[in-house]
Amino acid sequence: MLRRQKSPLRRPRYDGPSTQRGGNYSGQRAGAKNQQWGPKSFQNREQKPFQDRQQKWSQNREQKPGLHKGSSDPGEPTSASQPEKKKEVEDWRIQKEMLKAKFPDGWKPIKRLSPDALAGIRALNAQFPDIYTTSTLAAKFEVSPENIRRILKSHWQPSVDEEQSRQERWHRRGMQIWEKKAALGVKPPRKWRAEGITRDPRYHDRRRARIQRDKVWEEEETNKYRAYREGLQKAAGKVV
């Protein structure tokens, strides 16, 4: 029967203190037969391995004092004295600034109800809820039923300053709208004409020229028709 041969490589024994981390102490335990080992056997700080480790710890602490707890040197850099990193701006803030630069006076849709119209919608629905329903008000004011529902659901009341600012914004909006319409030739109402919004003076010149041209064309057509009728009458008299 063959026996298993022992490996020629054997575990080295501990002959003295080792500077490498995790040294093998099996040889020391085998050699110190008379020493009693227990749970507190390594608390003796006079042993060689612990002295070497304590020296290394003290050297590292002297070289890098800021990395250990309890270092209270006022000259050391701390997290409070270090410059803070610049925070990145959120995407929604960038988008908000872009919209603010694009629309300095806010969003101005083409179809928008005035503050007086909003108050009128609430008053009509409160007084006659059976007659002025959501669908009826939506058809009358030419908005979606969802807009009417939101208006009736809202109970926000502006303060005096907010109401004044609201009226000023609405007045500016009306002036801008009627300036565009006046440029297209639409006659502004008397209210906006009193504010100085009028059509382009060249519009009146073009209108007079068009009226004169139509008048001349109408006279020419009338003369042609009269000449045609006279010719027919003369032809009928000769035949008779």
pLDDT for 100: 87
Averaged over 7-32, what is the pLDDT? 54
In percent, the amount of the chain with pLDDT more than 70 equals: 61
Q: Is 142 left (phi over 0), alpha (psi -120 to 50) or beta?
A: left
Of 17-26, 174-183, 216-225, the poorest mean pLDDT is in 17-26
Q: How many CA atoms lie within 13 A of 200 on its CB side?
A: 10
CB 49 within 8 A of CB 21: no
| pLDDT surpasses 70 at 7 | no
The reply to whether 115 falls in a domain is yes
Please check whether residues 201 and 166 belong to one and the same domain: yes
* CATH number for the domain harbouring residue 128: 1.10.10
Domain boundary pick from 157, 176, 191: 157
Of 167, 197, 201, 204, nearest in space to 181 by CA: 197
Which of the given ranges, 45-59, 68-82, 133-147, 226-240, has the highest pLDDT on average?
133-147
Q: Is residue 181 part of a domain?
A: yes
Residues 125 and 181 in one domain: no
Q: Is residue 78 part of a domain?
A: no
What tokens appear for 191 in the block?
Answer: 């209210």
Check residues 71 and 56 and name the one with the higher pLDDT: 56
Structure confidence by residue, pLDDT tens digits, 40-50: 555 555 555 55
Tell the residue number behind the tokens 């030419």, with chain if given.
142
DSSP state of 146: H
How far is residue 45's CA from residue 67's CA, in Å, rounded to a whole number?
Answer: 25
In a domain, 168, yes or no: yes
What confidence category does residue 127 fall into, taking pLDDT thresholds of 50, 70 and 90?
very high
Residue 233 lies in a domain: no
What is the reported pLDDT for 205?
83
| 120 and 176, same domain (yes or no) | no
Residues of the domain holding 143: 93-157
Predicted pLDDT of residue 204: 78
Residue 58 reports pLDDT greater than 80: no
* CB-based contact 115:170 (threshold 8 Å): yes
**Residue with tokens 């988008």, as numbered in its chain:** 95
The two three-digit tokens of residue 59, written as one number: 């050297």
How far apart are the C-alpha atoms of 50 and 34, rounded to whole Å? 21
Asked whether residue 38 is domain-assigned, the answer is no
- Report if residue 123 sits inside a domain: yes
List, for residues 69-119, the tens digit of each pLDDT value: 555 555 555 555 555 666 788 899 999 899 888 887 776 666 788 888 999
**179 part of a folded domain:** yes
Give the pLDDT of residue 9.
Answer: 59
Q: How many domains does the chain have?
A: 2
Q: For the ranges 22-26, 101-105, 124-128, which has the lowest average pLDDT? A: 22-26
What mean pLDDT is reported for the chain? 76
Residues 145 and 165 reside in one and the same domain: no
| 147 three-state secondary structure | helix
On whether both 146 and 175 belong to a single domain, the answer is: no
